[in-house]
């Protein structure tokens, strides 16, 4: 019975770890994409002379 409890806690903690990793990776990708988009708009403004 104790082993079953350990397995469930391990799987739930692993799920949380994976969720945190996914959130971190998605935030990194989002910041990278938005950063590149912001740079592109800035370059367009500079080329237009604003």
Q: Is the pLDDT of residue 25 over 90?
A: yes
What is the rounded distance in angstroms from the CA atom of residue 6 to the CA atom of residue 1? 9
> Percent of the chain beyond pLDDT 70?
80
Three-state helix/strand/coil letters over the chain: CHHHHHHHHHHHHHHHHHHHHHHHHHHHHHHHHHHHHHHHHHHHHHHHCC
pTM above 0.85, yes or no: no
Q: Is the pLDDT of residue 2 over 60?
A: no
In this predicted structure, what is the pLDDT of residue 5? Answer: 59
If you search the block for the tokens 């403004």, which residue do you land on? 45
């Amino acid at each position: 019975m104790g082993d079953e409890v350990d397995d469930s806690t391990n799987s739930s903690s692993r799920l949380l770890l994976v969720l945190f990793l996914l959130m971190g990776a998605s935030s990194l990708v989002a910041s990278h994409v938005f950063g590149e988009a912001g740079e592109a708009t800035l370059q367009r403004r500079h080329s237009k002379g604003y």
